[in-house]
Structure formats: structure tokens, C-alpha cells
Structure 1
């Protein structure tokens, strides 16, 4: 059995929309994309943490919007790039990718499978997958569905000291009741705090 791990770059007010680039995700007229890079262009400590996390990735589980964003990036970037970019591009191209969608019929990114019955199919994937963690990035609506069916094993959050006041939030209104046990907390020199939360075993 594999664990489903949600990883997010998140603001103090819980926004996870468009961290990397202005045009990354303009849904809802969001005009603050790129807030992560505007906070700080480089963060070697966080880069090392992300590389460690990603070394454990055995499959990707994404919502349709996040899948489309990644399709235009990781699916087309060169596998021959130096360093982490090339390594990660090779990894993402080779591992299984699962996208939750009711409309996608012919995914073009290799090794992609579309999930229609998300709770049922993800539960089976979680039980049957053996090679590394099943990784979720972004995908706020998908995360809420997974949480409602108790399918998230761990949250890994890189929290940035910035408040946007608008945008898609990880734990938005209507998010299912969830209890966590806090794991590692790592304050970084950049001001980012990396915190891990596990599903609570309490009743």
C-alpha cells in the first residue's frame, strides 16, 4: 500500500493558487500569480527539502486544472536539462499519472490515466500501488474530495509569510472536518516554514 501525500506552497491565509507564475492559474480572475517567486527568487533550503520529497514520488495524482498546467511544463521540458529540472522531468514522464476529470478523454502526457470515480479508484490505487508515494500538488478541489473520504495520509506544507486575501485556498469553506497530528516543523532562513501533518489516529 502507498501513502497519498499532499504537498503545497501556501500563503498564511491558505491560498495555493498560482504560486509560480503570473499566468499559471487565472481562474476567477486571480491576478496575484507568481507570489512565491516574488517573496524570494531562490531558497536553497527549501529546494533541498523539495528534492528529498520528490525522490519518494512513485505516482502523481492531479486535478484537471493542475494537470493541464503541468502538461504545458513538465511534459514538454527537456529531459536533458541539468540538475533537478532534468531529473524531475525524467521522473514525471516515466511514473504513472492519474488525473481526476469528467471531461478529459484523450490525455497526451504519456503514462496518464483518467479517473472518473475518484473516491473508489483512488482507494484502489492507494491499496494496490507499491512503488513510492502517490503525490498530489495543487488540485484544491481534488484534495477536498480525498479528504472527505479519508484518503489523505499526510500534508506537507511550505507556508510563506504573505497574505493575499483572495484565491483558491487549500482548506476552503466547506472543507470536510479533518484532524491532524503535527509532525516536523522547519523554519527556514527565507521566512518560509515547512510543516508536516499526518492524519490523526484519534477518534
Structure 2
């Protein structure tokens, strides 16, 4: 069975809206579109490229797909060549025209369609697509979660973990690494069960 990877850039207070530019997602009057740009460095760039090893499909929400389709077909470089040759799957409530070569609209039962992708591809990556990611979280329909957490607070904006996230265990699978400009790389695997509870009042009372 293949893996579904979710890759997100987020602030320390969990905002993942529009990291790439002012026009990416101004919903709700969001005033900080492009917040990631001043904090990029070579370490994050190499981590992103390394994480794409073995990627054989893209799974995107409609807004992210439109942004990517408007940029990557006209770009050059390693990432552009990869994205342009990969199959692209799009989750949308509508029936948009998908003009980027290799693009397919998922059927009306998006959850079933995503599960089928695991049988078709080894490593399907969801990049950005924050609204769609909430569905994957709610259904526990992912296998890897990679976060780049940046040392800024924005106070408002769409969050990585919004209402509807179900209690879930994760397991850290790579060492946490901080880049020169403070982005903290964290990669997790979905783990079995739900979070346990205990009583901290007993700590330190033994003996």
C-alpha cells in the first residue's frame, strides 16, 4: 500500500494560509500572504527537495492546483520538471477544466478516491491545500505529516489544525532540524490509537 504525505509550511501559532505570496489566498482579509518569503534559506530548500524523493503523484485542493497550474508549466528546474511529469489529482466540489497536463479530477466520493490512490502510487504528496487537508485529518486519511514551523506569530489566518481534527497519535520519524533562519523541520508518521491520559499529580511522589 502506498503512502499519503501531507507537506505544510506553518507559523508557530499554526497559521498555514498563503505562505507563498500576497494573492495566494486572501480569504478573510488575510494580510500576511507571502509570510514565508523573508524566512527562506538553503537548508529548507534542500529539505524540500529531499522530501520529494520517490514522489510519484500530486494530490491537491482546487485553490492550490490553480496556483501550481499557473506557475509550474512555465517554470524550469528540478521541481518544475518533476511536477510537470507527475500525475496530478484534484479534489474539488465543482467540475473545473484541468488544463495542466496529467491532471485528473477526483470523483464525487473524494475519500474513496484518495484511498484508491494508495493502491495506484507509492508516494502521493499533498502540498498546501489547507482546506482539503482538514478532510484528510478528520478521516485520518494520511500516513506522513511533514511540517516546517517558522518563528513568527500572525494571530489570524487559516490554521493547520482547525476544528474537526480528530484525536490522533503521531510518531516522530526523523530528527528535528532547525534551519539558519529558524524554520523547524518535523516529520511524523500516523500512529495507531488515540492519545492516552494520566494523572501528573502522582509524578515525583514515589519513594
**TM-score scaled by length of structure 1:** 0.89
Counterpart of 1:125 (choices 109, 114, 117) is: 117
Query: What residue in structure 2 maps to residue 102 of structure 1?
Result: 93
Which of the two has higher C-alpha Rg?
Answer: 2
Query: What residue in structure 2 maps to residue 57 of structure 1?
Result: 55
Corresponding residue pairs, total: 192
User: Over residues 133-164 of structure 1, what are the superposed CA-to-partner deviations in whole Å (9 max), with x where a residue is unaligned?
Assistant: 10011112211212222211011101000011
Aligned ranges 1:2-81 → 2 under 5 Å: 2-38=2-38, 40=39, 42-77=40-75, 81=76
Query: What residue in structure 2 maps to residue 189 of structure 1?
Result: 180
Contact 1:144 1:176 in 2 (8 A): no
Query: What residue in structure 1 maps to residue 198 of structure 2?
Result: none
User: Over residues 27-69 of structure 1, what are the superposed CA-to-partner deviations in whole Å (9 max), with x where a residue is unaligned?
Assistant: 222110111112x2x4111111111112321100001111111
Distance 1:173 1:135 in 2: 23
Query: What residue in structure 2 maps to residue 111 of structure 1?
Result: 102
Distance 1:73 1:105 in 2: 18
**TM-score scaled by length of structure 2:** 0.87
Q: CA RMSD in A?
A: 1.4
1:88 aligns with 2:88: no
Q: Which consecutive segments of 4 or more residues in structure 1 shift more than 3 A?
A: none
Question: Any idea what SS the aligned residue of 2:78 has?
Answer: helix
